[in-house]
A and B are shown apart, each in its own frame.
Chain A
Amino acid sequence: MAARKHNIDRSRESYDAATSALKRALGSRVRTDEESLFRASFDGSKLCYFPDAVIAVRAERDIGTVLALANKHGVPVTVRGGGTSLTGSGSPIRGGWVLDVSALDSIVIYEREGMAEVGVGAKISAIQKAAEDAGWYYPPDPSSKDHSTIGGNIACNAGGMHGAKYGVTRDFVLALTGFLPTGERVKWGGRFKKFACGYNLRDLWIGSEGTLGVVTSAVLKLVPKPEAKWTLVAAFAEEAVALGAVQALIGRRLLPSILEFLDRHSVQCAERATGRSLFPEQRGKPLLLVEIDGTAGEVAAKQQDVLAWAAEHAVASAEARTSEEAEKLWEVRRKCSGAMFELGDAKLNEDVVVPLFSQVAFAGFLDELQRSSRLPIATFGHAGDGNFHVNIMYHRDDAAESKRAEKVVQRLMRKVVALGGTITGEHGIGLAKTPFLRLDRSEAEVRAMLAIKHALDPRGIMNPGKIFEVFEVWKHRPIKIRLPWDHR
């Protein structure tokens, strides 16, 4: 990734004096060279805003120093983990300082207790590996697990494919340590499972997107590693049938560990990208991926149930008994997102949730939306959670298409809220979803959130411009850059 000259917004405040003070305090940990600033200027959304300095945090106490100075001088501070956020929550839109905590990456597994104590910079895949080496298992697995950090996962309350059975990041966080925006060190919870003393600020921090403080370490709950796994992929005549089958499967009370959905656009893109089809006879049909885990006996029993279900609803199916076979089935899910750019050069990727039993109605709505907007809308996601990644594809330079794409997002968001759903299930609000926050949350709720923000961060230094201030993402051009997780 090469650094290049980029327009820095000269109209905004300069924090030169403060940055000099920061350099005096932390020396070479403070970087202001163009390359460092550029690398910290965007996240997975590729919305780029230059900061004034990047602090490569080595020890927790650095953070206290940074926050004290930032408060004194009123400098915005944006925390950065893996930089994979898809909403712009990690882009330092007001400049100021980026606090890079990715070096705080310690991992300790408490084998006898089934817990892990980790530094926030630890990558999810590293935590999973350490847990599994000890016979335990950390279930939340966002697709970005090789690149995203536990700090970012906590700040966004990230989900993943195992959500249907195991839940999301929040469900595995027992305790958090970190700093309030004012620079004071705090700890919520400990190496135990229950606490009822005082307000629950741990859960307030989770999902607050770096606007209420800096997390430095976490105690995570682990679960026993499932003894056996079994995977099935099934193709369906159309989307509504597939999502109807999801309801039928949930009705059987089977609680699959994974239940992923891909619509025909997603399947077709993956097929073209890989040059292969799982079901040559049934190319381009919507798919469901089902995984069952548990003890060997349990998996064997449930497997029969799932096969009977597939025979009833699907047009074709294939099962995997070994992890290599399963890996082949998963390829389509992993490849589909990157492959979508053949449908348009711009993508509005949403992350909506609808109640489980509104999924069929939602499929009908998406159909209608494609027809009326004449835009390809590729949808895939965590059907077991009702969480869908809706990708509206268009061509940026086509003014008419752009206008239609914007309309589609507006209608989509209104629809999910009307169905009793929510505008974001795992990515958060950041910048990209800000126009819709007030659609989802009542005035009293937003007022309460802002009051809390003010109580914790009186000078408003933590990640300003996010969540509450409207940012119309379709009016902003992402930079052209290839990130490690962009496969294409």
Chain B
Amino acid sequence: MKGSLFQENRMADQETCSIGGDLACVPALNARLGPGCVLTGAEDVIPYGFDATAALKQRPGAVVFPKTTSEVVDIVEIARRHRTPIITRGSGTGLSGGSVPVENSIVMCLLGMNRILELDTRNLTLLVEAGVVTQDIFNQADAAGLLYPPDPSSMKVSTIGGNVAENSGGLRGLKYGVTRDYVMGLEVVLADGSVCWLGNKCVKDVAGYNLRDLFIGSEGTLGIITKVLLKLLPKPAARRTLLATFGRMDAAAETVSAIIEAKIIPCTLEFLDRKTIHCVEDYARVGLPLDAEALLLIESDGHPAAVEDDVTRIAALARRHGAIEVNCARDAVEAAQLATARRSAFSALARLKPTTILEDATVPRSELANMIRSIQEVAQRHGLDVATFGHFGDGNLHPTFLTNERDADEMRRVELAMGEIFERACEFGGTITGEHGVGLAKKPFLRRQLGNASYALLKAIKRTLDPDGLLNPGKVVDA
């Protein structure tokens, strides 16, 4: 790994590093949007200079808040005329630096495009603007007796546009999949200002190339997503939550394999290691067992008969594979508490040290125990503090380094450790990122992951759809 990511970051960290302020296109933006929707003051734009990724910052030249697709189109036109880059932004909860601006750029924040346009309870679809917060989508569906399954831990804050742009996962991924699996259609503004409507309310569609899926996960580099048509599911009639405690991490990993091998697909299979358990308990106080090496949070949903059956079998499998204790949540309230506790893992860990660097390595499920051992070994060797949790059912781990970005030596070691962890993930037949995307943070690892031919193709596609490099330049690949 060559990229000295953190050196660049530290430079950017000095808040005086760029002045950005007077972009030539600001008058045109003001004229089109009205002054209230354009921020240019140095203080005003600072909050839009970073996302949830540690140690990445850059002040933009201006921040704009469009309210309609036609305003987005006009902003793109103006930006094109002035050759000013656009960084699309939702809530800025990204964990790979995807919405961190470049110098003298326009941040286009879509939080003002937050209307729910149509809930179609017959076709089971929901049409929303891109700035709608994920939790609001879940609530809308829930109120109609329906389910929107993707539930990233950040769902109270993140936008659906950001979820689509990152193809975010969540706790229900094992059974229900990720954001992509629920996107039926997208309205996208391309770099040339044209508007495409990709998809429809039909379950099937094979007319021409699948452009919709190309925009899902494209991290704001190929187009600006302005509307999303989502698929909803009937709400499962029953749901049960289990908590299994293990004295050995291997036993937890084996239990997961055994559950899948028994052809049981719970909706949630989340893992927390010792350090994460302690932090979460300290933060959320839900009574997690503090003597455990590993904890599995398991949820099964579906038809009541099937759920009962699953829960009994899962509990038996966990015990057989060495669980110290298996507890069933007594009621929905307790189940919700447990899920909330799991969701708070990242925030809980973030309280410990000034900087939390969270990774997103994904491996075949059979390699989970090996991968966690590797993470622990690497961290120990570099004298680093690491906590690991994640979506075990998907093989998706979040090793989290608890560190301090002002400690240059420690950051250098974190960087080395991350490189080694990625290397190991690749060796295990895995990937460097399962759900957080490449953005800036994983960029140095992308070529290794993809190989030269695929990497070159990514660049070719970027150049094809965004020849002037207007959209979120420098993310994912350099064109």
Per a CB cutoff under 8 Å, which of A192, A207, A420, A444 touches B206?
Answer: A207
Output the least CB separation between A481 and chain B (Å). 26
Instruction: Report the separation of the CA atoms of residues A115 and B300 in the bound assembly, to the nearest whole angstrom.
Output: 21
A200 proximity list for chain B (CB < 8 A): 167, 180, 213-214, 216-218
Chain A nearest CB, measured from B213 CB (Å) = 3
Q: Report the minimal beta-carbon distance from A247 to chain B, rounded to whole angstroms.
A: 7
The yes or no answer to B68 lying at the interface (CB within 8 A) is no
The 15 sampled A-B contact pairs (Cβ below 8 Å) are: A167-B203, A198-B438, A199-B458, A200-B218, A203-B214, A251-B122, A294-B306, A295-B306, A295-B309, A384-B203, A385-B203, A425-B202, A426-B204, A440-B207, A449-B208
* Residue contact A449 to B209, C-beta cutoff 8 Å: yes
A445 touches B431 (CB 8 A): no
Q: Which residue of B lies closest to A445 (CB)?
A: B196
Query: How many interface contacts (CB-CB < 8 Å) are there between A and B?
Result: 275
Q: Are A444 and B194 in contact, CB atoms less than 8 angstroms apart?
A: yes
Give the chain A neighbours of B457 by CB distance below 8 A. 180, 186, 201, 455-456
B306's nearest neighbour on chain A, judged by CB, is A295
Which residues of B are found within 8 Å of A204, using beta-carbon distances?
209-211, 213-214
A156 touches B (CB below 8 Å): yes
The interface size bin for chain B is 35 or more
A111 to B258: give the CA distance in the assembly, Å. 11
B263 within 8 A of A: yes
Q: Is the CB of A425 within 8 A of B206?
A: yes
Which residues of chain B come closer than 8 Å to A197, judged between CB atoms?
431-433, 437-438, 442, 446, 449-450
Please determine whether A208 and B435 come into contact, CB atoms closer than 8 angstroms: no
- Using A194-B178, A295-B309 as known contacts, say yes or no to A224 and B365 having CB atoms under 8 A apart: no
Q: Which of B207, B395, B438 contacts A192, CB < 8 Å? A: B395
Please encode chain B, from 348 to 369, with 1 for each CB lying within 8 Å of some chain A CB and 0 for all others. Answer: 0000000000001011111000
Q: How far is the CA of A121 from the CA of B202 in the complex (A)?
A: 29
User: Given the complex, which residues of B lie within 8 Å of A156, measured CB to CB?
Assistant: 206
A interface list, Cβ under 8 A from B: 111-114, 135-136, 156-157, 159, 163-164, 167-168, 170-171, 180, 182, 184-201, 203-204, 206-208, 212, 223-225, 247, 250-251, 253, 255, 294-295, 297-298, 301-302, 353-357, 382, 384-387, 420-429, 433, 437, 440-442, 444-449, 451-456, 467
**Do residues B200 and A422 form an inter-chain contact, with CB atoms below 8 A?**
yes
A295 touching B305 by the CB < 8 A rule?
Answer: yes
Check: B190 CB closer than 8 A to any chain A CB.
yes
Instruction: Establish whether residues A297 and B450, one from each chain, have CB atoms under 8 Å apart when the complex forms.
Output: no
Residue of A nearest to B234 (CB): A253
Contact B211 A190 (CB under 8 A): no
A297 to B457 CA separation, bound complex (whole angstroms)? 50
Which B residues from 369 to 410 make CB contacts under 8 A with A?
A: 391, 394-396
Chain B residues, Cβ within 8 Å of A171: 181
Contact A437 B208 (CB under 8 A): yes
- Min Cβ gap A144→B in Å is 15
A203 CA / B217 CA spacing, docked (Å): 11
Q: How far is the CB of A360 from chain B (nearest CB, A)?
A: 11
A187-B454, A203-B214 are known contacts. Are A192 and B263 too (CB-CB below 8 A)? no
**In the complex, given contacts A196-B435, A197-B449, A356-B122, what are 16 additional A-B residue pairs having Cβ atoms less than 8 angstroms apart?**
A157-B210, A159-B204, A185-B453, A186-B453, A192-B363, A194-B178, A195-B434, A204-B209, A206-B210, A298-B302, A355-B123, A355-B200, A357-B122, A420-B201, A422-B202, A429-B207
CB pair B207 A424 closer than 8 Å: yes
**Which of A251, A425, A467 meets B208, CB within 8 Å?**
A467
Q: Which of B35-43, B279-287, B459-467 contacts A (4 or more CB under 8 A)?
A: B459-467
Given A187-B454, A198-B476, A387-B204: A297 and B196 within 8 A (CB)?
A: no
B173 at the interface (CB under 8 A from A): yes
In the complex with contacts A180-B457, A188-B454, A112-B204 CB distance below 8 A: no
Is B365 a contact of A425 with CB atoms below 8 Å?
A: no
Q: Mark out the residues of chain B between 138 and 171 whose CB falls within 8 Å of any chain A CB in the assembled complex.
A: 145, 166-167, 169
**Distance A382 CA – B204 CA, assembled complex (angstroms):** 10
Tell me, rounded to whole Å, the shortest Cβ–Cβ distance linking A64 to chain B: 11
Given A114-B263, A355-B201, A157 contacting B167 (CB threshold 8 A): no
Residues of A within 8 A of B218 (CB): 199-200
| Partner pick for B260 among A114, A294, A440, A444, CB 8 A cutoff | A114
Residue B126 interfacial (CB < 8 Å): no
Q: Decide yes or no: A441 and B234 within 8 Å by CB, A196-B167, A198-B476 being known contacts.
A: no
Q: Looking at the assembled complex, report how far the CB atom of A89 sits from the nearest CB atom of chain B, in whole angstroms.
A: 10
Q: Judging by beta carbons under 8 Å apart, are B208 and A444 in contact?
A: no
Chain B residues whose C-beta falls within 8 Å of the C-beta of A195 in the assembled complex: 362, 431, 433-434
| Chain A residues closer than 8 Å to B202, beta-carbon distance | 353-355, 385-387, 420-422, 425
Name the residue of chain A whose CB is nearest to the CB of B454. A186
Residue in A closest to B439 when the chains form the complex, CB atoms: A196
- How far is A250 from B146 in the complex, measured between Cα atoms in Å? 13
A171 to chain B, nearest CB (A): 7
Q: Does B451 sit within 8 A of A, measured CB to CB?
A: yes
Assuming the A-B contacts A198-B450, A385-B204, are A192 and B394 also in contact, with contact meaning beta carbons closer than 8 angstroms in the complex?
yes
The answer to whether A445 touches B432, judged by C-beta atoms less than 8 angstroms apart, is no
Residues of chain A lying within 8 A (CB to CB) of residue B429: 190-192
A421 to chain B, nearest CB (A): 6
Please state if A247 and B122 are interface contacts (CB–CB under 8 Å).
Answer: yes
Q: Find chain B residues with CB under 8 A from A446 CB.
A: 208
Decide: A224 and B264 in contact? CB cutoff 8 A: yes
Shortest CB distance B215–A (Å): 9
B335 beta carbon closer than 8 Å to chain A: no
A203 to B145, CA, bound (A): 31
B421-447: which have CB < 8 Å to A? 429-438, 442, 446
* Complex CA distance for A114 and B264, rounded to whole angstroms: 10
